[in-house]
């Protein structure tokens, strides 16, 4: 099993985040929140493309109807987004979150296998616990499910669809919740707590065996934790600010990892997209609007 991450694109993303595997397009997409860009890496041909945005995207998921993407914007809007040659087009609004909190922004989001979105908000200054965790149903209804986050991050869904993990990076804590049949959350508990030496837990994803892959901001690695929260193994990267990861490829056996160049001018590969061979397979990406069958 290879335990080495290799650079596949020196994108120099200021804050690379939110990687998404698109089976339709055989590509990994990710966002550069501070750089206001969306970036695309083709798996079969190694092609690379980018789109500049006026309102930065903080995460992307694909729309189940095949009509582009759903994006969470820095302005706390959730919109339909089409990526056309040379331009990104907002094609409609699904929801507005926290219109009364101009100091907040969206940060991370995922779609589950029932077609719903799970989205976190955060204090843009990263100082106050002003962020919350939300569920957005397929009809656009927004429901707050938890609160008190300074830097909400990395929702990840267990293979059985009954557990969701969510992080407050500033508190160095990953929480686990039980998901009810109606989408309600219960049983909030501490799943993993990072030490100062670990850095901060950032983006994360689950594999098909229930392992949780967590990226270490200021920790220079991505770690796999067993379903009981104990550490299984870690993969080191040649950069310190490791932000998020996604399983990709037709067999979901390739792990792509985003990083950040922000505050790291002396790290030549900071902000690059990396790939490693994880030795396990991931889960199919959720899409907004329709359950996975």
> Does residue 1 have a pLDDT over 50?
no
Measured in degrees and rounded to the nearest 5, phi and psi for residue 34 equal -75, -20
* Dihedral angle computed from the Cα positions of residues 243, 264, 232 and 278, in that order, rounded to the nearest 10 degrees: 70
The verdict on residue 1 lying in a domain is: no
Residue 198 DSSP SS3: helix
The verdict on residue 99 lying in a domain is: yes
Output the domain CATH number for residue 214: 2.120.10.30
As for how many domains the chain has, the answer is 1
The verdict on residue 154 lying in a domain is: yes
The verdict on residue 249 lying in a domain is: yes
Averaged pLDDT, 202-217: 98
| Other CB atoms within 10 A of residue 40 CB | 18
**Which of 45, 202, 207, 218 does the annotation list as catalytic?**
202
The verdict on residue 293 lying in a domain is: no
Whole-number pLDDT of residue 290: 75
Whole-number pLDDT of residue 3: 66
Averaged pLDDT, 19-27: 97
Q: Which residues 6+ apart lie within 8 Å of 177 measured at CB?
A: 145, 146, 163, 164, 165, 166, 185, 186, 187, 188, 189
The verdict on residue 139 lying in a domain is: yes
**pLDDT more than 70, % of the chain:** 98
The verdict on residue 269 lying in a domain is: yes
Nearest to 165 by CA among 95, 112, 122, 124: 112
- Domain range enclosing 60: 6-288
pLDDT one-digit tens code per residue, 78-108 = 999 999 999 999 999 999 999 999 999 999 9
The verdict on residue 236 lying in a domain is: yes
| Residue 96 · residue 85 · CB < 8 Å | no
Verify whether residue 266 is a known catalytic residue.
no
């Amino acid at each position: 099993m290879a335990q080495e991450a290799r650079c596949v694109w020196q994108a120099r993303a200021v804050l690379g985040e939110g990687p998404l595997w698109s089976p339709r397009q055989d590509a990994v997409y990710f966002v550069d929140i501070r750089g206001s860009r969306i970036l695309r890496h083709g798996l079969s041909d190694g092609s690379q493309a980018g789109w500049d945005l006026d309102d930065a995207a903080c995460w992307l998921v694909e729309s189940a109807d095949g009509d582009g993407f759903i994006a969470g914007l820095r302005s706390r809007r959730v919109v339909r987004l089409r990526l056309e040659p040379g331009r990104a087009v907002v094609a409609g609004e699904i929801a507005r979150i926290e219109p009364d909190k101009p100091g907040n922004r969206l940060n991370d989001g995922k779609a589950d296998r029932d077609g719903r979105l799970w989205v976190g908000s955060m204090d843009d200054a990263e100082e106050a616990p002003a962020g919350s965790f939300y569920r957005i149903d397929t009809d656009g209804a927004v429901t707050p499910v938890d609160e008190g986050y300074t830097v909400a991050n990395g929702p990840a869904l267990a293979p059985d669809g009954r557990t969701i993990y969510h992080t407050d990076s500033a508190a160095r804590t990953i929480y686990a919740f039980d998901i009810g049949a109606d989408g309600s959350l219960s049983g909030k508990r501490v799943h993993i707590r990072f030490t100062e030496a670990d850095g901060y837990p950032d983006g994360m994803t689950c594999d098909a065996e229930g392992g949780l892959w967590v990226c270490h901001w200021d920790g220079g690695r991505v770690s796999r934790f067993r379903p009981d929260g104990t550490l299984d193994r870690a993969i080191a990267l040649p950069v310190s600010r490791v932000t998020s990861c996604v399983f990709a490829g037709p067999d979901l056996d390739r792990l792509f990892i985003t990083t950040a160049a922000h505050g790291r001018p002396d790290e030549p590969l900071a902000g690059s997209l990396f790939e490693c061979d994880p030795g396990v397979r991931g889960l199919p990406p959720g899409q907004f609007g329709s359950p996975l069958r």
